[in-house]
Every structure is written in structure tokens, then in C-alpha cells.
Amino acid sequence: MEEEQQIIGRGTWIDKLADELLQREKILGRKTDLIRVESGLGASGIPHIGSLGDAVRAYGVKMALENFGFKSELIAYSDDLDGLRKIPEGLPETLKEHIGKPVSFIPDPFGCHDSYGLHMSSILLDGLDKLGIKYKFQRGVDTYRNGLLKDQIHTILTNSKKIGEKIAEMVGQEKYQEALPYFPVCANCGKLYTAISYEYLTDEKKIKYRCADTTIGSKPLKGCGHDGIADITKDLGKLPWKVEFAARWSAFDIRFEAYGKDIMDSVKVNDWVAEEILNFPAPTHVKYEMFLDKGGKKISKSLGNVLTSQAWLRYGTPKTILLLLYKRITGAREVGIDDIPALMDEYNELENIYFGKIKLDNETKVVRSKGLYEYVNLLNPPKTQTPYVNYRLLIQLCRIFRENRIHLVTKKLLEYGTIKESSPEIEELISLAGNYADDYDTPTKVEVNLDDVSKQTLAHLVNILSSDTEPTDLQNTIYQIAKDKGMQPKDLFKLLYQIILASDRGPKIGPLIIDIGRKKIASSISEYL
């Protein structure tokens, strides 16, 4: 007999991770009166669902730690002293003159914030606010300006030779064997990456640099030739990623930070710098795969294939984003707006399990499903179930009723017996589904298993639905077709619900098909044959 799997906390990967963190802290013997978790927010391009995911997952660990009885805090660190490396797709070419400058000192091309960096940070923070994520916002520019990393910078620069050799050994990058791992902001041209540091005056805590030509990625970037001296305690400058994370972890006492697969090398080096140079145990980590667009490409700020939380929330609830991010952390996933209908219905299924309307045989799965539901509700689940209607049914109805939509769709749902009364929650669902219906013509195709009998039955139904003659009683006609073809009518109804609504059930099938349009449904069924 198999041993039952041990359930930790609420049974999710979040609880398991928080438990691993606590066990490690116990071994390290560190104080746990406040456990800080961190998320790094890039401010060089338009933030997307993946950028948001970093902070949301860190917040999940914060919630789990609090659930275990520990005080915790999420630091949302905006890397807004980072330099602009290239112009993200879709942004104005006028930004070209600012390549290499810190994003906090570049004017906002949209004209609504003090800087480009603040504009980009605000989009991400707006997304977090809409999801109900609580955080302490820490700007990179303030961190350096206020000298919060000055001790770590000093220690890193006094050990720069050792660090340069280790970076070359660990990841094969040799540039820090020549240059020091610190970029002052050039006092003459304001660029960051062209200011190459070559000598550290330890006693004075000053660094000598020359603003010289360099390359960013594979593109050349011109320096202004200025020779300067920067005081690391007063003048603005920035550590490169290969050592900056370690400095932040040490300065802010960070105990957990997730990271994307794309910065794995940087994290490996930073772990070593934290432990061997700064004498600070590196945080507990979890590595996650990147989100891909529907073409299988990495969602990227610079490629311009971003999917923002603002775009998502036009069609789906905040709960669907949280479900997407909390259901699992491993594996690369293609994600797009067309995932919203399935996630809307999946959240409703979780709610049905939580409130006991759907019974599961596997007790572990029940605990995990309920735990996931609680995390998606930020550990403050509702006391009663929220009114819900199948999202694809709403999309279909919203395609029929373009004018006076909320009233007419609600009236139809009452006719079907799908709802007993109107409510603000149902009206909000109709608005979201209406936006989807207006912006996306093609319904999402779902996978349906068809045997030969099902195919023959559906093919016969397609002929009748495509005919110019309307059946007197479509409900009874469908029932009779199933009987004639040797198929259980309930099985045919279920198949039709799966094709039309991606669900096993729905309102009476005959009236539904007539409302959507016989020929339209015939066309949808034909795609499966």
C-alpha cells in the first residue's frame, strides 16, 4: 500500500517552498522575526505578465510564511537606475539619443511621469495593486542615491580581482578581469555603460573611470572620452547584475527571491558573491521558466510581444491572473488572451470544489485544490460562492447582442434558467465577455474526442443545421438524430456543449443553437470533423 503524501500547509508548491525556506533558516540559525522576500522589477521596457509573475509568486511565499506564523514583507525593487540598452519595439525612435543612460534620467515619452523608468515601474505597480498584492516599493535610483549599498559596493570593489576571476571561471565572462564591477554615471554625458572603471581608491572610496566606446549586446555605443573620479558614497553609479543582487540581498536582508531561467548565470555568480565576499547566506531560490507567446517566443519587453496585466484585465478577472501564476511554477507555458475563457471556468471549478459542489475522490487533490483557491484569493476566500455563468456561453451571447448588451444577455440567461436573478457579479462577467466578443472574432477551439459514431451523428446534424429549412423543434430533432445513429442523446448533447461552450453542460441545446445561429454552429462543428 502506497504511503500517503505528506501535506504541508495548504498543500501547494508555495507551502512546500516556504517550508524549505524555514528549515534552511533554522539550520543557518538566523533571526526570523521578519522574513523579507524580494522581487526585482525591470524598468527598461513595458512590463508584462512574466514581470508581474515574479512579484506575485514572491508574494505567495510571503503569504505562506505568514500562514506558518512568521511576519513577512515583500520588497518590490525597481531597477530604475539600469541603463536603456535598446529601444523596445513600438516605442519612439527619439529614445535613441538616450541609449546607455539610466532609465530614471530619460524623459517619459508618454509625458505622464517624471521619467521613462518611473512610467514603466508604474505600469507594473498598477498591475500589482489591481491584483491586491501588498509590497514595499524600493527604487534603484533612491537606493544608490541614499547610499544604502555603499558598504557592499566598497567590499565588492576591494575584492574585484577575486570576483573578476570567479566570474570568468563560473560563466566564461572575462570583462571583469579588466574593468571593475561598477558603472559610475558619466559626469559629462550622463551615460552609464560607457563609464568604464579601472581603479578603486580604497581609502577615499573613490573610483577612477574613463567614458569610452563600448558595445551593448552587439551594438556599438560611443563614449564621450571624459576622464572622471566618482565618490561611491555620494555620486550616482551602479553595480552590474553579476554582483548587484548579492549587494541588495545583504543590504535588505533578503531571504527569498525567485528568478527566471534567463538570468541563471547571474544568480549563480551572485550566490557566490553573497556568501564568499559579503559573508551573507544567499536567499532561498526557485527557478521558473519564462512565459512564451502563442508563437513559442519568449515574451520580452524589447521584442514588443508583451502581454500586460492591463490588457488581460479587459477580458478576465484579477483572479484569473493569480490562478495562472499560482497553479504551478515549473515548465514553460505559452500564454495569451485566448487562455482567459478556460481560466475563468477553471476558477469557477475550484470554487465549486472549495464550497463542496464538486466532490473529488482523492483527498490530497481536494486539499490542494482548496489551497490553490485560497492562495488565488490571497488567503482571504469569500464566505459564499460568487454567481457565475460559463464564460464561453457569455461570449456567444455577447456576439449576438451588441446593443443594450447587459440587459439583453441577462434576459436570455433568465430565459434559459441559467441564472435566477441579475447581480453586479453577472453584469461584470457580461462586460468582460463582451469585450472579448468585440475584440476577438474567433472562438477558442477545444480538444474533443470523437469516435466514428459521433462523427457520423455530427455530420448528419451539420447537414440539418446548414439547411435553409428550419426544423420545427430543433431540441427534439437533435434527440432523434442521436437515437437514429445509435448514440445516447445525453452523449450527443454533451459533445455539443463541449464544442460550443467547452463545458459538459449548459442551457437547453436547441434554443441555444437557434440563438447563436444554426449555420454558425454547423460551421463550428465542421471544424471538428
Bridge partners of 28? none
Q: What angle do CA 400, 404, 408 make, to 5 degrees?
A: 60
The whole-number pLDDT of residue 290 equals 64
DSSP helix/strand/coil, 36: strand
Q: What is the pLDDT of residue 302?
A: 47
Hey, what's the cell of 291? 512565459
CATH number of 309-439: 1.10.10
Relative orientation angle of helices 318-326 and 49-67, to the nearest 10 degrees: 80
Domain extents in the chain: 13-149+242-292, 182-238, 309-439, 452-527
**C-alpha span between 158 and 180 (Å, rounded):** 10
Give the whole-angstrom CA distance, residue 322 versus residue 298: 20
Q: Which residues pair with 72 in a beta bridge?
A: 35
Q: Which three cell numbers stand for residue 323?
A: 490562478
Which pLDDT value is given to residue 368? 95
Query: From its phi and psi, is residue 335 left (phi > 0), alpha (psi between -120 and 50) or beta?
Result: beta
CA atoms of 94 and 75, how far apart (whole Å): 33
Fold of 452-527: Arc Repressor Mutant, subunit A (1.10.10)
How far apart are the C-alpha atoms of 251 and 228, rounded to whole Å?
27
pLDDT per residue, tens digit, the chain (529 aa), is: 333 468 899 999 999 999 999 999 999 999 999 999 999 988 888 888 888 889 999 999 999 999 999 999 999 999 999 999 988 888 899 999 999 999 999 999 988 999 999 999 999 999 999 999 999 999 999 999 999 999 999 999 999 999 999 999 999 999 999 899 999 999 999 999 999 999 999 999 999 999 999 998 788 999 999 999 999 999 999 999 999 999 999 999 999 999 988 889 999 999 999 999 999 999 999 988 766 665 655 555 444 456 889 999 999 999 999 999 999 887 667 788 989 999 999 999 999 999 999 999 889 999 999 999 999 999 999 999 999 999 999 998 999 898 899 999 999 999 999 999 999 999 999 999 999 999 987 666 677 888 888 888 888 888 888 888 778 888 888 888 888 888 888 888 888 888 888 878 888 888 888 888 888 888 888 888 7
Annotation: binding site for ATP: 301
Instruction: Give yes or no on whether 13-149+242-292 and 309-439 have one common fold.
Output: no
Q: What's the length of the chain?
A: 529
Output the known binding site.
301
CA dist., res. 256 & res. 14, Å (int): 12
313-341 as b/e: b if 16+ CB within 10 A: bebbbbbbbbbbbbbebeeeeebbbebbb
What is the C-alpha separation between 295 and 31, in angstroms, rounded?
47
Q: How far apart are CA 493 and CA 495, in angstroms?
A: 5
* Per-residue burial over 218-257, b = 16 or more CB atoms within 10 Å of its CB, e = otherwise: eeebebbebebebebeebbbbbbbbbbbbbbbbbbbbbbb
Helix intervals (H) in 287-446 = 309-312, 318-326, 340-354, 363-376, 391-400, 405-416, 424-439
Q: Which long-range contacts (CB under 8 A, 24 or more apart) does 91-100 make?
A: 91/45, 99/216, 99/221, 100/191, 100/192, 100/193, 100/194, 100/216, 100/221
Q: Which amino acid is located at 479 in the chain?
A: Y
Reduced to 3 states (helix: H, G, I; strand: E, B; else coil), residue 362 is: coil
- The dotted CATH code for 13-149+242-292 is 3.40.50.620
